[in-house]
Amino acid sequence: MTKTKTMNEAPTTNRALRAWVQAIAEHTRPARIRWCDGSEEERITLERDMALSGSFIELDPRTHPRSFLHRSDPTDVARTEHLTFISTPRREDAGPTNHWMSREEAQARVWPLFAGAMKDRTMYVVPYLMGPAGSPFSRVGVELTDSPYVALNLRIMTRMGRAALGHLGAAESFVRGIHSLGDLSPDRRFVVHFPETLEIWSIGSGYGGNALLSKKCHALRIASAQARAEGWLAEHMLILGLTSPEGRTHYVTAAFPSACGKTNLAMLVPSLPGWKIETVGDDICWMHPGSDGRLWAINPENGMFGVAPGTSLKTNPNAMKALAHDVIFTNVALRAGRRVWWEGMSQLDEHEIIEDWRGAKWTNGAATSPAAHPNSRFTVPLRQCPSAAGSFDLATGVPISAILFGGRRSKLAPLVYEARSFRHGVYVGATMASETTAAATGAVGVLRNDPMAMLPFCGYNMGDYFAHWMAVGKGLSRPPKIFHVNWFRTGDDGRILWPGFGDNIRVLKWILERVEGTATARESAIGLLPHERGIDLTGMDLSKDALFQLLAVDSGAWLREADGVLEFLRKFADRLPAALLAEHRSLVKRLHDSLH
């Protein structure tokens, strides 16, 4: 049996942490243990080792300084929701939208896969802090992983190393994450969460959402259960600051399913003059009720793990500027001169591409699949984004004026509408649906319910989750207004009607005018809509007919969908708040009334 060697002295005296690391090492049998401290020397060492092993391709230092390309196993390129489990004492506590596994079954099926899984590998002990240093809202996690790729990504995505250990101190409570690549077999791939004991087990995958346990696993699945117990909200939302030409600043959050424009909105460059945008967070938001009756939000992350395809100087110039240096690219194409490329990035002679995301030689005209994987990614520090400022590091967080829900709906949902109340807004979020993208395994373009964009990420029964939202709202004397947006509505020719990107500021402007009480709205069966001239179209080439289609509400189509919505809600049986059924009945009545 190989004796485990500790490569460096543990930078902590925390007894609970040291004992846990030792216990996991005895089970997984790594050859070496390395405690990560987040230093520059450590980064350089890990990058060099990965480049020497061939798992990192160093990019041209002139065009991509200190940046690398990593390629996943071709079977390991997205979240594996069907292999992701919530382990609670009772199945009903996980709910009908989660895959459940008992602790006993996990011990029998999953835990044995970790036995000796790190043999001949290094175990990286990665302490990480979710949230700003010094914030009472921040939480510590520790991931034990045999993937240096994961360790380097966590260095970007979190406040990793000594900052996390300093926040933890001698406390025994922290999120314990165990990750091993295993043999990367899909047949032995599991991600199991234990909300009651703050544990995560992940084996058989090196892909970000399955392996970077700080992200969806901790910041959403585990944190959402913690938030319910403690009276706050852990959400799959961006946080955006908007300052009007008059100097008034508001912060909004927005929940969209992955690859539905969340990163683009978080970093938008406004097409209306005088508006300023601040990116506070692009993916995850923790909101706490404040003493002033408002919700206050922090971004628990420190970096961005964004979808590459479609990102360009036209669609997201701030993201492209952020990618100028110190980036880890995953599953993008390699072009001549050790530069990267992905579909939608720029126009180029495809002969420039030399290898696709798998590392296969690229032959122009003969390829049957994209050069970059549709779910290829970039990992980059948030501070490199030109629209990011100091707010994402504020210990207090930022006050939230509005919450936006939305997804991909080619038909039905209008460009924007306002919920009638916070309770109605919870119903809007709970019943939102979106057409699927490549961010998760499975078919693309299929309509599915995705409440609050949390369907894959809620760590407990979503019926209880809806009730928790209702309870949080009741405790707020100054709750945020809630809206639904849809940038993807199409016309009769199948083309998207709204230009999106920087022009989304026009919709946000109306939303903030509603928050401030300076804009009027018109009644509709589904909620409050802008008047014909409510959206500032100055300088836009948008026809009246296109605007009419964007803001139209087809009551008959909404009624036809209502039956499916009710069927979805009834999945939660007696866990569903009665208030949501009341909101559904009210909507159906208003839709019927509008047809007569």
Give the sign of the dihedral formed by CA 135, CA 139, CA 143, CA 149.
Answer: negative
| 167 known ligand binder | no
Q: Which of 36, 217, 260, 285 is catalytic?
A: 260
| 216 known ligand binder | yes
Name the nearest CA neighbour of 102 among 92, 87, 81.
87
Contact 376, 331 (CB under 8 A): yes
Task: Look up 260 and say whether it is catalytic.
Answer: yes
| 408 known ligand binder | yes
Cα separation, 507 vs 534, whole angstroms: 9
DSSP letters along 573-588, please?
A: GGGS-HHHHHHHHHHH
Name the nearest CA neighbour of 403 among 386, 384, 422, 389.
422
| 236 known ligand binder | yes
Q: How many residues does the chain have?
A: 596
Contact 354, 361 (CB under 8 A): yes
| 109 known ligand binder | no
**Tally: H helices and E strands in the chain:** 16, 32
Name the nearest CA neighbour of 405 among 254, 203, 240.
254
| 318 known ligand binder | no
Burial of 342 from C-beta contacts in 10 A (0-12 / 13-18 / 19+): buried
| 258 known ligand binder | yes
Residue 143 CB: number of other CB atoms within 10 A?
Answer: 29
Q: Which two tokens stand for residue 565?
A: 């919505």
| 293 known ligand binder | no
Cα separation, 362 vs 376, whole angstroms: 17
| 260 known ligand binder | yes
| 262 known ligand binder | yes
| 584 known ligand binder | no
* Exposure class string for 483-517: b at 16+ Cβ within 10 A, else e: bbbbbbbeeeeeeebbebbbbbbbbbbbbbbbbee
Cα separation, 552 vs 544, whole angstroms: 12
Q: To 10 degrees, the CA torsion angle through 360, 361, 364, 370?
A: 20
On the CB side of 111, CA atoms within 13 Å amount to 12
| 501 known ligand binder | yes
| 503 known ligand binder | yes
Phi/psi of residue 28, nearest 5 degrees: -90, -20
> How far from chain centre, in Å, is Cα 273?
30
On the CB side of 543, CA atoms within 13 Å amount to 5
* Percent helix / strand / coil, the chain, rounded to 5: 35, 20, 45
| 207 known ligand binder | yes
Q: Which two tokens stand for residue 544?
A: 């009246």
| 445 known ligand binder | no
| 263 known ligand binder | yes
Q: List the catalytic residues.
A: 260
Task: Write out the binding residues for GTP.
Answer: 259-264, 377, 408, 501-504
Task: Write out the binding residues.
Answer: 79, 207-209, 216, 236, 258-264, 283, 375-377, 408, 501-504
Task: Write out the binding residues for substrate.
Answer: 79, 207-209, 258, 375-377
Task: Write out the binding residues for Mn(2+).
Answer: 216, 236, 283
